[in-house]
Amino acid sequence: MERLEEWRQLLAAGKYFKVVCGAGHEVEADVERLAYVYTLAGCNGFDVSAKPEVVEACGRGIQAAAEVAPAMGLNLGVRPFITVSVGMPGDHHVRKAVISSDCVACDLCIPACPTAAITVDLVVVDPLCIGCGRCEAVCPPAAAAIRWRHDAKSLRSILPACLQAGAESIELHAAVADEQATLAEWQVVNDCLPDGLVSLCLDRHYLSNHDLLERIRRAHAVAGNRMMLQADGVPMGGVAGSGWKATLQAVAMADVIERELKARDPRFRHLPVVLSGGTNRGTGQLAARCGVPFAGIAMGSQARRLVQGGLQDIKVGRVDTAIKKLVAEASDMIKTTLAISELC
């Protein structure tokens, strides 16, 4: 079966589970280890930074998992799809923190950072920063020392290189108000991948429900049935924990799209909607209880945190007790999160 058709079937069945390594996470060894562990755990998608070296690292992790799986008694099924993330200026996923001269050296941001990107000298290590904003949240208002810079990438040059390196899809994070600029960038994404699935990631920070649906309609006019939609409840909201409240907005956004668009307009009936932004083990269950169908779940913070403690000890390609333990935990998490989707 063709790769595209395999992907469509996963989405139609609500069984697509994507681990978000982080659009700004460019530490290749970490991405390779994450891909190794989660491929063995049954994950069928990875979302990585739009950098060819990172795409290749993800591919190495997937390939190593495929090679050791038989020895672990695992049947991996569909080989995971690699998506690269790019974003509009202002979108959280493609920004990097900078500590300004207003810093009063209180050190509160150091332990708050989930990726250990802030050194004891109060410098942000760029490749580690995922733009989550937790440093800004704890920075004393009197200092307000965190600034942001857009991690600008020239899409027309970087995206073909990422596809060449093994990426199969592109996701545009477009949680910004500027409609024309967003559509122009969306056109570039579509030009770069005219015959594959392309994903638009939106949230409702700037967009009303009406604006959200209008943006989806316009984007769909460009991509047609190659389009996927990522409903980003609370961008990078996975840090909020495992409760239903953390995942509520992703489900609510998917509900709006289902009721106001998919159920009313046949052109959108098969639009795959992937839940993200605050997703956790309860996401599938909450969606099922609310009667909200979904094509898949993308998980960042919660998925990374689950394996974080043991990840540095993992040697890609080696099978030992440590990897078995991590794979078992990750596999259980994926099944818990997705299994309930079958009820929708």
- Which residues would be at the binding site for ligand SF4 (CB under 6 A)? 97, 99, 103-109, 112-113, 115, 117-118, 122, 124, 129-135, 138-140, 143, 145-146
Q: In terms of CB distance, is 104 or 152 closer to ligand SF4? A: 104
Question: In which residue are the tokens 């998506």 written?
Answer: 83
Query: Based on CB atoms, which residue is closest to ligand SF4, 168 or 203?
Result: 203
Q: Running DSSP on this structure, what letter comes out for residue 14?
A: T
| Least Å from the CB of residue 131 to ligand SF4 | 5
Q: How far is residue 253's CA from residue 233's CA, in Å, rounded to a whole number?
A: 7
Q: How much helix, strand and coil, in percent to the nearest 5, is found in the chain?
A: 50, 15, 35
Instruction: State the minimum distance, in angstroms, from the CB of residue 145 to ligand SF4.
Output: 4
For the bound state, the minimum distance from the C-beta of residue 284 to ligand SF4, rounded and expressed in Å, comes to 27
| Nearer of residues 110 and 222 to ligand SF4, judged by Cβ | 110
Report how far residue 120's alpha carbon sits from residue 331's, in angstroms, rounded to the nearest whole number.
35
Query: Given the complex with ligand SF4, which of 123 and 263 has the nearer CB atom?
Result: 123
User: Containing H/E element for 85?
Assistant: strand 81-87
**CB of 92 vs ligand SF4, minimal distance in Å:** 9
Closest alpha carbon to 252 in 270, 217, 279, 224: 279
- Dist. CA 182–CA 188, nearest whole Å: 10
The nearest distance, CB 144 to ligand SF4, in angstroms, is 8
What residues form DSSP beta bridges with 118?
A: 124
Q: Which is nearer to ligand SF4, 88 or 323 (CB)?
A: 88
| Strand bridging mode 95-99 / 146-150 | antiparallel
> Which one, 104 or 328, has the nearer CB to ligand SF4?
104
Shortest separation between residue 37's beta carbon and ligand SF4, angstroms: 21
DSSP reduced 3-state for 126:
helix
